Homo-oligomer: A and B are copies of this chain.
Amino acid sequence: MQKIEQFLDSKDIRVTAMRLLIYKFLAEKQVAVTLSDIENAFEKADRTTLYRTIKTFEEKAIVHKVDDGTGITKYALCEQGCNCEIETDLHLHFHCNNCNETVCLTEHKIPQIKVPDGFVSENVNLVVKGICDKCSGQ
């Protein structure tokens, strides 16, 4: 388990008990989570700490925001070598209308989107909604 400590350290994130717990929580989850999800997982922790921890993770680029259109921001761990910032590296997200979970489809990069003359594309958010594999697999 020393690995996580080392990883955080390599990213200039001081290791604390709470940060380790939150990191592990994110790593175990296969879906993007809300602040409330984390809050519920750690009853004792203060919401502000979670909020700021996630913010730190985001600033240090080990998690990325997921805006799936539910109105509630979700977060997911970045993949190895993920460059959330670089437009060409953007993957799409899938939101299940049934179980309400959102997953990163990291293998599915967002295609080049043409915009009209005069417009400059800097960033793209693409969310597909429908039924996920777990829910469709009846």
Q: Which of B128, B132, B136 contacts A113 (CB 8 A)?
A: B128
**For residue A114, which residues in chain B have a CB less than 8 angstroms away from its CB?**
108
The count of chain A contact residues (Cβ–Cβ below 8 Å) is 35
User: A87-125 CB contact bits vs B (8 Å, 1 = yes)?
Assistant: 000001010010000000101100101111111111111
- B117 lies within 8 A of A133 (CB): yes
A122 to B137, CA, bound (A): 16
Minimum Cβ distance to chain B for residue A104 (Å): 12
Q: Which of B108, B116, B124, B129 contacts A123 (CB 8 A)?
A: B129
**For residue A121, which residues in chain B have a CB less than 8 angstroms away from its CB?**
128-130
Q: Which of B67, B105, B108, B115 contacts A130 (CB 8 A)?
A: B115
**For residue A123, which residues in chain B have a CB less than 8 angstroms away from its CB?**
97, 128-130
Minimum Cβ distance to chain B for residue A85 (Å): 12
